[in-house]
Amino acid sequence: MSARAGTWVADADSSGVRLDRFLAERMPGQSRSQIQNWIRQGHATVDGAAVKTGHRVREGERVTLELPPPPEPGLFPEAIPLDILFEDDDLVVLNKPAGLVCHSGAGVRSGTLVNALLHHLGTLEAGDPERPGIVHRLDKMTSGVMLAAKNPSAHRALSDQFKNREVRKHYVALVHSSPRAPRATITSGIGRDPRNRKRMSSRARHRRPAITHYEVREDFGFAALLEVRIETGRTHQIRVHLAESGHPVVGDAVYGGNRTADLPPAVVPAAAGLGRPFLHSARLELAHPRSGAPLSFAAPLPGELERFLSLVRKERRPGKGRREIA
């Protein structure tokens, strides 16, 4: 049995034992705190479902631990172009392109934003050594405004702002069909989908609070352009909330399914070739980590989204148009 994975069936003697203790007894040499971290990260499941560290196993339950390969040591700089919107001694704000991964992970050690920042800055020692400078993330295929901290004090101050929901995060999303309400708030908690570990879901057993507000800016009949603001920052939050409300983001193959048939024939080929969700981080508003001065940063839609939106506007259904929201 690999040190990185294992499956055990709980016997009568183990019934009632906490999951972290159950695993610690079967993995000598691993600390209890490390095992608890693995459980929180979803690497341990009971009968195929993620559970909390305090779960007490019952006789006959099948406990599985599957860990990713250990990370390769060290990060290195790479000459990856960055679109810098603002930079000072404490932070750097950039317009992230779709396709750029924020930091290394399972199977990814190069070509990330962290690699690019190391090349741009020379050194970066702030926060987690595996993802230095990163205080928030955008999905790989989401573009737009993102920031990174350049020193530990800035990292702490910015992380606190995100944690305390003091950063205002505005996105633009094009979704399938027209929401009935001109504005709405979605509050479904989000957790790891027990049936597909690469997806998130509001139907997960263990969910974290998530709050998404949206307003319809343009209604095309077959689609709608939304301004979205999130108070929390859960993985895939906007994509999950909009998809589960019946309006998946156009181009989202993970949560949107095959919805191109809902689009006008003239739009279908462009939608199939978009290659990314129509989701863009348009604006961030926060306080400077050192001075506390208010800051606001904006990034325009990238060219591929602007061109697609122009095509969508040409196919607008009669009686549909822009909505002015008070």
Active site residues: 139
Question: Residue 286 in contact with residue 158, Cβ under 8 Å?
Answer: yes
Alpha-helical (H) ranges within the chain are 19-26, 32-40, 113-121, 152-163, 237-244, 268-272, 303-314
User: Which of 97, 211, 108, 77 is CA-nearest to residue 146?
Assistant: 97
Quote the CA–CA distance of 95 and 49 in Å, as a whole number: 37
First to last CA, the chain: 62
User: What does DSSP say about strands 191-192 and 183-186: parallel, antiparallel, or unpaired?
Assistant: unpaired
**Cα separation values, 3 from 27, 33, 65, 87, 294, Å:** 8, 17, 10, 44, 49
Quote the CA–CA distance of 265 and 198 in Å, as a whole number: 32
Quote the CA–CA distance of 270 and 3 in Å, as a whole number: 47
Question: Residue 196 in contact with residue 250, Cβ under 8 Å?
Answer: no
